């Protein structure tokens, strides 16, 4: 884990997590030109088993990410987001590694995620971090804006 950031579990409905998720939503709404760009059920406190918030050295929340458990042995990354000013600093990698650590702790061997065609930097990030494109799964099957990735944890 990147020592410049503290990544810890926080309540889904905590103020910092809610602020970060709202910022992510606004950014994606602008990129896709609508607020109807996420197939399937939106994540909730009940469906996200792990929610992490990353804080910088000053204690400011700059990123987040969650895990939604799927069938036994697999989990989906949800609401992975880093504030624009903190991008390129290593915080996304710190969050991703912390999510993978938590997934292993929960017995997950396959990590899945969905991103979108208007998020090329996210696709580059996940590919750089060892994720590979996979067939769209679950609610993303047949969705032209969805791009899915997977990684087997060791």
> Could you tell me if residue 1 is inside a domain?
no
- pLDDT digits over 27-56, tens only? 999 988 887 767 888 899 999 999 999 999
> Could you tell me if residue 11 is inside a domain?
yes
> Could you tell me if residue 41 is inside a domain?
yes
Model confidence at 1: pLDDT above 70: no
User: What is the Cα–Cα distance from 97 to 99, expressed in whole angstroms?
Assistant: 5
The DSSP letter of residue 38 is: -
- pLDDT digits over 56-98, tens only? 999 999 999 999 999 999 999 999 999 999 999 999 999 999 9
The DSSP letter of residue 41 is: P
% the chain with pLDDT above 90? 88
CATH number at residue 27: 3.40.630.30
> Could you tell me if residue 139 is inside a domain?
yes
Mean pLDDT, rounded, of the chain: 94
User: What is the Cα–Cα distance from 96 to 102, expressed in whole angstroms?
Assistant: 10
**What mean pLDDT do residues 100-105 have?**
98
CB contact at 8 A, 69 and 106: yes
User: What is the Cα–Cα distance from 9 to 73, expressed in whole angstroms?
Assistant: 21
Domain that holds residue 99: 6-152
User: What is the Cα–Cα distance from 139 to 39, expressed in whole angstroms?
Assistant: 6
Neighbours of 60 (CB within 10 A): 12
Total structural domains within the chain: 1
**Beta strands, E only, 5-142:** 6-9, 50-55, 61-69, 74-82, 110-116, 132-134
> Could you tell me if residue 17 is inside a domain?
yes
> Could you tell me if residue 146 is inside a domain?
yes
């Amino acid at each position: 884990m990147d020592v410049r950031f503290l990544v810890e579990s926080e309540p889904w409905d905590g103020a910092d997590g809610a602020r970060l998720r709202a910022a992510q939503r606004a950014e994606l709404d602008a990129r896709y030109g609508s607020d109807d760009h996420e197939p399937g059920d939106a994540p909730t406190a009940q469906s996200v088993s792990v929610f992490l918030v990353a804080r910088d050295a000053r204690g400011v929340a700059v990123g987040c990410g969650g895990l939604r458990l799927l069938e036994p042995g697999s989990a989906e990354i949800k609401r992975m987001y880093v504030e624009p000013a903190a991008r390129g600093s290593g915080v996304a990698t710190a969050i991703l590694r912390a999510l993978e650590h938590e997934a292993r702790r929960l017995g997950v061997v396959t990590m899945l995620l969905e991103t979108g065609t208007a998020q090329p930097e996210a696709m580059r990030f996940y590919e750089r971090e060892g994720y590979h494109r996979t067939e769209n799964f679950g609610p993303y099957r047949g969705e032209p804006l969805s791009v899915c990735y997977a990684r087997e944890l060791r």
